């Protein structure tokens, strides 16, 4: 079964600094990969997804992620953090040839320091 590991349950960065949130998956066949953001008491919003095209994926709000098969990773980055980026971020996968159910990591809470 697929699993997703997010290193660091809490990450703090200063406003304007680089944001790096880590995600690794376990699968011999690269899955579809996603990053979702969740603001307090709200549902999840898709930031970006990797299906099978370019390995560098650009998403909303200035976020991007790079799929690295050799490292089984899909880390999320943003060059310059904004106060509004403070939220919970979830990495998730969908197995290829599966039923398209999402398997989520445990999440990373991002705090922005003014």
Partner 1 sequence: DTGVSQDPRHKITKRGQNVTFRCDPISEHNRLYWYRQTLGQGPEFLTYFQNEAQLEKSRLLSDRFSAERPKGSFSTLEIQRTEQGDSAMYLCASGRDGVMEQFFGPGTRLTVL
Rule CB under 8 A: which residues touch partner 1?
A: 4, 9, 32, 36, 41-46, 49, 51, 90, 92, 94, 99-107
Angle, alpha carbons 3-24-95 (nearest 5°)? 45
CB of 101 to partner 1, least distance (A): 4
CB of 18 to partner 1, least distance (A): 24
Identity of the residue, 100 or 114, whose beta carbon is nearer to partner 1 in the bound complex: 100
CA 114 to chain centre: 23
Identity of the residue, 84 or 99, whose beta carbon is nearer to partner 1 in the bound complex: 99
Identity of the residue, 28 or 100, whose beta carbon is nearer to partner 1 in the bound complex: 100
Tokens read off for 97: 């040839």
The rounded distance, in Å, linking the Cα atoms of 52 and 3 is: 19
The single residue listed with the structure tokens 């998730």 is 92
The rounded distance, in Å, linking the Cα atoms of 106 and 87 is: 14
CB of 6 to partner 1, least distance (A): 8
């Amino acid at each position: 079964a697929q699993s997703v590991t997010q290193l660091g349950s809490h990450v703090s960065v200063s406003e304007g600094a680089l944001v790096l949130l880590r995600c690794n998956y376990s699968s011999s066949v690269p899955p579809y990969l996603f990053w979702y953001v969740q603001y307090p008491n709200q549902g999840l919003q898709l930031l970006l997804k990797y299906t099978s095209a370019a390995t560098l994926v650009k998403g909303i709000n200035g976020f991007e992620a790079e799929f690295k098969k050799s490292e089984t990773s899909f880390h999320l980055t943003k060059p310059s953090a904004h106060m509004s980026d403070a939220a919970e971020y979830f990495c998730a996968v969908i197995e290829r040839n599966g039923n398209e159910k999402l398997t989520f990591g445990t999440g990373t809470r991002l705090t922005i320091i003014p």
